């Protein structure tokens, strides 16, 4: 059923038809983009599970590369690095890779048009970036430190932009950040100015950057979906007047 639902959402993006859904837009926009780039024209109705796609090119939406990175053999890469960084044990990292590569749940998820594999990609990216940033703690404000800290913020925005359950990885990174700052505050060799720089860097990369990217996702969402469709009635008359094909399109709406 979920493939029918999210496949239809991808078609809405291709047709630029406005719709209302409970999930943030990033995952569905990526599905729609994959379909568009692979030649899908957005005409399949997605009425019920099990309908044959016939001549419709659905491969692109099922094969979103973000999904494949997480749900195929490449899924081993981020967990291997994370486990290797945390445990310093190559056998433990290889065991993690083996378990993930042959996990039938991941293999099954990778076959359909779903948000979960895309979500897993950003969740794993956030954890990997956080761990790599922690490994650069002995050289703060270096290029690699800034890179991994910024990539953590980008991954947090991606996780929240696919599903709200991404909030859990935001909580994980937040707790890790609080621990780091508390440890730095107790370091008597650091001045308050240096501590302030650490605090400001984390505010910029882990709060401001994710919020800016999250907001930008919705800006793109509303810019693309400019035609009337299901869900118009959930919004104000002034908003409906901006949608092509709506009965109120270009009508002057008093404040």
* Rounded Cα distance, 98 and 56, in Å: 36
Q: What is the pLDDT of residues 21-63, one digit of tens each?
A: 889 999 888 888 888 887 777 667 677 776 676 776 666 676 6
* Residue 199, CA atoms < 13 Å, CB-side half-sphere: 12
78: CB partners within 8 A, 6+ apart: 124, 125, 127, 128
Is the confidence at residue 231, as pLDDT, over 90?
A: no
Q: What is the pLDDT of residues 69-115, one digit of tens each?
A: 444 444 556 677 788 888 888 888 888 878 877 777 777 777 777 78
Choose the most confident range, by mean pLDDT, from 4-18, 41-55, 211-225, 230-244.
211-225
Angle CA 248–254–255, to nearest 5: 120
Is the confidence at residue 202, as pLDDT, over 70?
A: yes
Q: What is the largest CA-CA distance in the chain?
A: 69
* Rounded Cα distance, 33 and 10, in Å: 8
């Amino acid at each position: 059923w979920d493939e029918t639902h999210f496949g239809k959402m991808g078609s809405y993006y291709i047709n630029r038809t406005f719709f209302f859904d409970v999930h943030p837009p990033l995952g569905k926009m990526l599905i729609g983009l994959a379909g568009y780039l692979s030649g899908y024209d957005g005409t399949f109705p997605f009425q019920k599970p099990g309908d044959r796609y016939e001549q419709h090119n659905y491969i692109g939406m099922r094969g979103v590369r973000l999904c494949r990175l997480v749900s195929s053999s490449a899924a081993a890469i981020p967990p291997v690095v994370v486990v290797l960084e945390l445990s310093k044990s190559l056998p433990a990292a290889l065991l993690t890779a083996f378990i993930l590569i042959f996990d039938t749940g991941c293999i099954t998820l990778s076959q359909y048009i779903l948000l979960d594999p895309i979500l897993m990609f950003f969740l794993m990216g956030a954890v990997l970036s956080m761990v790599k940033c922690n490994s650069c703690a002995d050289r703060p404000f270096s290029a690699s430190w800034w890179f991994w800290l910024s990539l953590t913020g980008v991954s947090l925005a991606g996780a929240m932009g696919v599903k709200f359950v991404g909030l859990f990885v935001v909580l994980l990174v937040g707790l890790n950040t609080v621990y780091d700052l508390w440890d730095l505050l107790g370091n008597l060799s650091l001045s308050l100015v240096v501590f302030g720089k650490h605090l400001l860097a984390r505010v910029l990369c882990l709060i401001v950057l994710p919020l800016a990217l999250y907001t930008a996702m919705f800006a793109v969402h509303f810019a693309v979906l400019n035609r009337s469709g299901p869900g118009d009635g959930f919004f104000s008359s002034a908003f409906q007047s901006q949608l092509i094909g709506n009965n109120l399109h270009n009508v002057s709406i008093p404040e």
